[in-house]
Amino acid sequence: MSAADTAPVDDQTRESARLLKRVPGRARPQKEALREFEEGVAQLRQHYDPVFWPLFVPEAKNMFRWRVELECGCKHEVYTHGEDKYPDDRRFPDLISQCRLPSGEFWCTTDHGPAQKPYRDIVEWVDRKVTEFPADPVEPEYDWMDAEDWAKIRKPKPHSSAFWRVKLSCGHYEQVCTDVDWKPEDGPKLVSEERIVEIRRDFEESWAAADNPGWPEKGFERDHIRKMIDLRWPRPEPERDCFTCTQVRRITGYQRIGWLVTRTRPAPRPSTNLDREKIEARLAAAEAEVQRLRKQLDNPGNA
Ligand SMILES: [Zn+2]
Ligand SMILES: [Zn+2]
């Protein structure tokens, strides 16, 4: 067996610990972290039946604190289940969809300003909820719409829509609305060849007009519309813009803070009277044995 076989596995050699580094700044006081954690736990307990608490409600004594640094430069404090679980072993929550983010990502709560939502392919239609709506009012629902346009789109009867939770190619979840009778295996509905020619012409004319920047302005949105035109205007669309992508950042490093609840090492047991009695008894036995051996030496014939 070589030395490498028996060498202890330290942090640096573990694949998942590759991001351990010094994260500048200071950890919050432990009391503050613990108070905030317990407030979160109290809220969670209200969400779940007590029988599920062991499954879904973490216990402070099991939590290990870390400082993480994100690619945006922001630092946040996070927890994992124990000192051997690293922040990029964990899947942190998506604060909007309540789904889990891919590991290695974190929702940065710092306001980094407006960001364009990138379009991502829908890779999975996960599940759906059907919502019922009453008949639309006779008067236009929007101030800017005239009665004629409203009459064209108004739904005069109660109606319902399906709201799907979809998984995107980036690993995030978004919502997409479809007709109630639509199923993923149906594939998207397309418009006719004639109709797509009209749609393409309308958009191109609008965008070409010098006095009108056209909706939407150049960029992601316009590229998206061009792509949908090339695909013959599919409904539902095969891609969706992802808000989560504008909010999450990759974890680029982390540093240990320590257990959320201080762990005390088992202290050496104070000696008690009982210990003393035992030691005295052993000493007495040893002294008796010494006496016996001495006698034996003095009188070899009596062995
Ligand atoms: Zn940030
Ligand atoms: Zn995304």
Taking the centre of ligand 2 as the mean of its atom positions, its distance from the CA of residue 245, in whole angstroms, is: 4
Round to whole Å and give the CA distance between 133 and 158: 6
User: What is the CA(71)–ligand 1 centre distance, in A?
Assistant: 7
Whole-number pLDDT of residue 219: 72
Q: Look at residue 212 in the predicted model and tell me its pLDDT.
A: 64
Higher pLDDT, residue 230 or 281:
230
pLDDT at 38 over 90: yes
Closest CA to 216 of 229, 228, 205, 203: 203
**DSSP letter (8 states) at residue 201:** H
* Ligand 2 center–CA 172 separation, angstroms: 5
Q: Distances from the Cα of 290 to the Cαs of 48, 126, 286, 287, in angstroms?
A: 70, 82, 6, 5
Task: Order across the sheet with 105-107: list the strands.
Answer: 75-80, 64-70, 248-259, 105-107
* Strand intervals (E) in 134-265: 159-168, 173-178, 239-241, 248-259
Mean pLDDT taken over the chain: 87
| DSSP tag of 281 | H
- Dihedral (C-alpha) 38, 42, 45, 50: value to the nearest 10 degrees? 80
CA of 239, nearest ligand number: 2
* Angle ∠(245,248,251) on CA atoms, nearest 5: 135
Please give the distance, rounded to the nearest whole angstrom, from the Cα atom of residue 219 to the centre of ligand 1: 24
Q: What percent of the chain has pLDDT over 70?
A: 87
Give the Å distance between the CA of 176 and the centre of ligand 2. 14
What mean pLDDT do residues 24-49 have? 93
Dihedral, 135, 140, 143, 148 alpha carbons, nearest 10: 150
- The larger pLDDT score, comparing residue 283 to residue 9, is at 283
pLDDT at 5 over 70: no
Residue 1 scores a pLDDT above 70: no
Q: Look at residue 41 and tell me whether its pLDDT is greater than 90.
A: yes
At residue 104, does pLDDT exceed 70? yes
> Nearest ligand, CA of residue 69?
1
Task: Return the pLDDT at 292.
Answer: 80
Å from CA of 175 to ligand 1 middle: 25
pLDDT score, position 232: 97
Give residue 4's pLDDT: 40
Centroid of ligand 1 to alpha carbon of 89 (angstroms): 20
Q: What is the pLDDT of residues 220-258, one digit of tens each?
A: 788 999 999 999 999 999 999 999 999 999 999 999 999
| 91 CA to centre of ligand 1 in angstroms | 18
Tell how far the Cα of 252 is from the centroid of ligand 2, in angstroms.
18
Query: Residue 210 — very low, low, confident or very high, per pLDDT cuts 50/70/90?
Result: low
pLDDT band per the 50, 70, 90 thresholds, residue 300: low
Separation of CA 98 and ligand 2 centre (Å): 14
Instruction: State the distance from the centre of ligand 1 to the C-alpha of 75, rounded, in angstroms.
Output: 8
Q: How large is the average pLDDT for residues 129-136?
A: 93
**Cα separation, 208 vs 213, whole angstroms:** 8
Among the bound ligands, name the one nearest to the CA of residue 119.
2
Q: Structure pTM?
A: 0.74
Going from the Cα of 242 to the center of ligand 2, the distance in angstroms, rounded, reads 5
Residue 128 amino acid letter: R
For residues 58-87, average pLDDT: 95
Find the 120 Cα to ligand 1 centroid distance in Å. Answer: 22
Q: How far is the CA of 74 from the centre of ligand 1 (A)?
A: 4
At 301 the pLDDT is 57
pLDDT at 249: 97
DSSP letter for 243, please. S
Residue 217 has pLDDT above 80, yes or no: no
CA angle centred on 93, ends 88 and 99, rounded to 5°: 120
Query: Residues with Cβ within 5 Å of ion ligand 2?
Result: 170, 172, 242, 244-245
What is the rounded average pLDDT of the residues 28-44? 94
Q: Indicate which ligand has the atom closest to the C-alpha of 252.
A: 1
Q: How confident is the model at residue 98 (pLDDT cuts 50, 70, 90)?
A: confident
- Looking at residue 3, its pLDDT comes to 42
**Rounded average pLDDT over 256-283:** 77
All residues at 6 or more sequence positions from 285 whose CB lies less than 8 Å from its CB, including other chains: none
